[in-house]
Amino acid sequence: MKIQTLIEEKVDNLEHYLACLISHSMEKGYQIAVWRKPHASFLEVMIDKSGQTKRVDIHALEELQAGFIAHPFEDQEDEKGFYIEADSYLKIDIKKPLDEQDAALEVLPQIIPREDCNTLIRNSFVPEKKSSHIKISEECTKNEFLHLVNKGIEAIATGALNKIVPARIKKKSLSDDFDLISVFKSLIDSYPNAFVNFFHIPQVGSWIGASPEILIQTKGEQFYTMSLAGTQKAHGENPLKNAAWTQKEIEEQALVSRYIVDCFKKIRLREYDEHGPKTVLAGNLLHLRSDFKVNMKTTNFPQLGSVMLSLLHPTSAVCGMPRKEAFEFLRINEKFDRSLFAGFIGPVNVEEVTAIYVNLRTARLMDGQAILYAGAGVTEDSDPEKEWEETEMKCEIIGKHLN
């Protein structure tokens, strides 16, 4: 029995097992993804042992083998995304003791002490100079970001844009005893409503995050997406009831909802359910969210997931509106490469479910440091100082756990 072998080899608990599994995979040059969906009580783990950096067509998700996709913010010339294909797939109950999960723990890693796992993981973080796909830029100063926001407000005032979402990076040093598994567990405990994830692709890097936003989900005959925008800090014992939204925030979220409806109109889809907006909690922040559902069988649209993914990305919540003009503004004026930030990630065709999330509240883990990413929605009523404060709050959602 695998469990008995694990116990004999002195695996202390589920966290130790996970540490051994991840460190072994990274040391071998495998690709690995670990995630916990919102409100789920189990972890999912996927390992690709091929040693190849795979890329797949995002226009035909329904035809792919089970896997985990990671697509940059900026479309590649061939519009493909990085793909971790499931050589091994595990589903582990977080709440059950290790010795009760023999059926789940199908992969038996090399058992080594926890502290040695930590060292192997840290040594496997891809240095910037060795990454062939991802570039890292310098942090911008507060004044530089304020200037960028003001430039966006000016463009909106001329009528060239309705909304723009400028972003920035923030670098944080990692300690010599950085423990990935403890950080991952801390994110799971702190953010039950988020898609908590870690993935490692040797030529792309190691990323960790807790995204609050589904881009598209297909489950059986049901399609789902959401519009999530507007941000304020949660206050008090009952922050959902205490929330008061400004006209700027309400309009910002309404723009995202209208964009989704416009996408439905483009494909002549009229039968959909819309609910919201309502206030939702994501970590220590509040957002406004509307939910959209479509029955793919009733509408005779089995490929709706792939079609809407192409239409929605990048959403106005991470780019702006009109999308083409906003994207061009960011390309010219942002002084860093967003890489996978504000792109999309998630499992594809795993147990007949595809759940793809916008890659928000994320950090790239590197040798000795983490790169944090955050953006802010700018409209004509924006206050540049408040937009800076919003990016600071968003960086801290992950940053405060990276001790």
pLDDT value of residue 1: 47
pLDDT value of residue 181: 96
Which of 300, 301, 321 minimizes the C-alpha distance to 257?
Answer: 321
pLDDT digits (tens, 9 = 90+) for 213-231: 999 999 999 999 999 988 8
- Say how many C-beta atoms besides its own lie within 10 A of residue 372's C-beta: 25
Is the model more confident about 197 or about 285?
197
The amino acid occupying position 4 is: Q
Segment 118-140 shows an average pLDDT of 73
Reduced DSSP (H G I as helix, E B as strand, rest coil) percent helix, strand, coil of the chain, to 5: 35, 30, 35
- CATH numbers and ranges of domains, the chain: 142-172+213-342+357-400 (3.60.120.10)
Question: Do 377 and 315 meet the contact criterion of CB atoms below 8 Å apart?
Answer: no
pLDDT digits (tens, 9 = 90+) for 42-60: 999 999 999 999 999 999 9
pLDDT at 7 over 60: no
The amino acid occupying position 145 is: F
Is the model more confident about 283 or about 92?
92
pLDDT digits (tens, 9 = 90+) for 320-361: 999 999 999 999 999 889 999 999 999 999 999 999 999 999
DSSP lists the bridge partners of residue 282 as 285
Prediction pTM value: 0.92
Segment 169-193 shows an average pLDDT of 95
